[in-house]
Amino acid sequence: MATLAGKLIKGSFLRVLNLLVTITVSFFMMPFVIRSIGDRWYGLWILVGTLVGYYGFFDFGLSTALQRFISRALADEDRQEINTIFNTCFSFFAGGAVLSILASVSVAIWGSRFIENPADIHAFRIVILLVGLSISISFPIRALIGFLYANVRHDVTMIIEIGKIILRTALIIYFLLRGHGIIALAAITLFADSISYLAILTFTRKRYAYLTFDLRLFSRNTFKGLINYSVFSFISNIANQLRFHIDAFVITAYLGLSMVTHYNVGGRIARYYIMAIISAVALIMPVFSKFEGERDFDKLREKFLFVSKLNVILSIFLGGALLVYGKAFITRWMGSDYTDSYYVLVILMAGLIFGTTQTTSASLIFSLSKHKPYSIMHLCEGLANLTLSLILVKRYGIYGVALGTTIPVIVFYIFVVPVYATRVIDLPFTRYAAYIVPPLLIGGATHLACWLFLRNYILASYSRLFILGSITFAVYALVSVFVVLTKEERRYFGIHV
Determine the length of the chain. Answer: 497
Q: In tens digits, what is the pLDDT along the chain, a chain of 497 residues? A: 445 556 666 666 777 788 788 888 877 787 677 778 775 676 677 667 767 877 777 777 787 778 778 877 877 777 888 888 888 888 888 888 999 999 889 888 886 666 666 767 888 889 889 999 999 998 888 888 888 888 778 788 889 999 999 999 999 999 999 988 889 999 999 999 999 999 999 999 888 888 888 888 888 888 888 887 777 777 777 777 666 667 766 776 787 646 766 777 788 889 889 888 887 776 565 566 666 666 777 888 888 888 899 899 999 999 999 999 999 998 888 778 778 889 999 999 999 999 899 888 888 887 777 877 888 888 888 889 889 999 999 899 989 999 999 999 999 888 889 999 999 888 999 999 998 999 999 999 999 999 999 999 999 999 999 999 999 999 999 999 899 888 887 876 666 55
Calpha distance 24→29 (Å, rounded): 8
Calpha distance 384→392 (Å, rounded): 12
Q: Are 218 and 224 in contact (CB under 8 A)?
A: no
Calpha distance 5→217 (Å, rounded): 33
CA angle 439, 404, 344 (to 5 degrees): 70
Angular region, 29: left φ>0, alpha ψ -120 to 50, beta rest = alpha
CB atoms within 10 A of CB 116: 8
* Residue 275 C-alpha from the chain's centroid: 4
CA angle 157, 34, 337 (to 5 degrees): 105
C-alpha distances out from residue 46 to 43, 351, 412, 437, Å:
5, 28, 32, 42
Max CA pair span of the chain: 69
Q: Which residues contact 102 (CB under 8 A, 6 or more apart)?
A: none
Calpha distance 94→156 (Å, rounded): 23
- For residue 460, the 8-state DSSP code is S
In the chain, what are the helix, strand and coil shares in percent, each to the nearest 5? 90, 0, 10
CA angle 239, 240, 242 (to 5 degrees): 65
Calpha distance 387→398 (Å, rounded): 14
Of 96, 97, 83, nearest to 217 by C-alpha is 83
Of 71, 75, 55, 231, nearest to 146 by C-alpha is 71
Q: Crossing angle, helix 339-356 and helix 257-281, to 10 degrees?
A: 30
pLDDT on residue 1: 43
Q: Which residues of 301-338 are buried (b: 16+ CB within 10 A; e: fewer)?
A: bebbbbbbbbbbbbbbbbbbbbbbbbbbbbbeeeeeeb
C-alpha distances out from residue 197 to 43, 128, 136, 156, 201, Å:
28, 20, 12, 12, 6
Calpha distance 99→435 (Å, rounded): 47
pLDDT on residue 2: 45
